[in-house]
Homo-oligomer: A and B are copies of this chain.
Amino acid sequence: MKSKRVKLVDIAAKLNVSVGLVSLVLSGKAKENRISEAMAKKVIETANEMGYSVNQLARGLRTGKSGIIGLLVADIANPYFGKMARFIENEASKLGYQVMFGSSDENPDKLRQLIDVFVSRQVDGIIVVPVKGSDELLSKEAFQVPIIFIDRYCDNIQQDYVCSDNFEGAFQLCNVLIKKGFRKIAAMVYNTDLSNNRDRIKGYKAALAEAGLDVDENLIHEVAFQHLETRLEPALKSAINAGCDAFFFANNSLGIESIKLFNQSGIKIGEDLGMVSFDNPEVYHVVKPGITCYEQPIEAMSQFAVKLLCDKIKSKEKYINVNKMLTGNLILRDSS
């Protein structure tokens, strides 16, 4: 197999010219080196005929840039991150980069390993969803490779990031409930102490406060990310027993799993209970009644992150001081 790949020297030999010349032409630097058009054309043609394709490994070794961007998300199987990966792929491709991905499962050790692998593969930059406990790691690694945080930021370290306006989203969602007359709104959130979760709870509290409603800490439930199946149900029951009349879910997983549980116990959303949620998974559109939600600007975030990363790669600065929050989209449906 593998009928010996043709390389620069092969096509140079065939044409009786030097490798340097061929290299110049094939990397698009013919013009600026004032190589005759006839020559350039001939080189390109025979390169095609012979089925030449650069060896990016060799080129990368020589130039010191691999042309690869590393993408580290929590889980590529999660549609939220899947979409993000797709938008990042598109944008990176426009700029001539390929993307290599990895899933951290919200686990800092796994994240560290993946970063090490990416670094040893000489990625030109990394877009990462930081996880709980990765602050130290990420601030240190920042000295190795240009890095951009996406979706979340870390308070303890300075890093460039792009995320959605979590405070604003939660604020708007809860306001919808309040305007509809709901008064005892429960909040469900992951127990992972990350900026996105925190800001969403802040937005929830701010909306209540602005409406003159009491913030009842007993109505705020932090649910373990790793044990959703077993931990969610008791949390919901506890909130209901405490007399809540509506739910604010801080993300799609919590919302979706809760709908399943509501179905099982015969609770009717939109009648018995109001409901709003962060994120806009397909389920929220298909289910009856539809779920009012705040859709994050995944495309804009992804594009921005890639552009930012490329800027950072060029600038060679280890911190360019960009903290970007993009606003999402409130989608009103019948659950509220």
Contact = CB atoms under 8 A, between A and B. Distances in A.
A119 to B, nearest CB: 6
Interface residues of A, number: 55
A206 to B, nearest CB: 30
A280 B210 CA distance: 43
A66 interface: yes
Given A1-B143, A2-B144, A100 B68 contact: yes
B76 A79 contact: no
Nearest to A312: B1
A318 interface: yes
A282 B283 contact: yes
A267 interface: no
6 contacts: A57-B57, A61-B61, A76-B76, A77-B85, A89-B103, A259-B286
A93 to B, nearest CB: 8
B2 A316 contact: yes
A103 B55 CA distance: 22
B120 A53 contact: yes
Given A57-B61, A86-B103, A283-B283, 18 more contacts: A1-B143, A54-B120, A55-B120, A55-B122, A56-B120, A56-B122, A58-B61, A68-B100, A75-B86, A76-B85, A77-B82, A77-B86, A89-B103, A100-B101, A101-B101, A256-B286, A282-B283, A286-B287
A86 B24 CA distance: 40
B61 A89 contact: no
Contact of A318 (B1, B55, B119): B1
- Copies of this chain held together in the complex: 2
A121 interface: yes
A100 B259 CA distance: 36
Contacts of A146: 1
A82 B89 CA distance: 13
A259 B282 CA distance: 11
Given A79-B79, A117-B98, A286-B263, A57 B54 contact: no
A288 interface: yes
A116 to B, nearest CB: 7
A144 to B, nearest CB: 7
Given A55-B120, A57-B66, A89-B102, A1 B316 contact: yes
A317 interface: yes
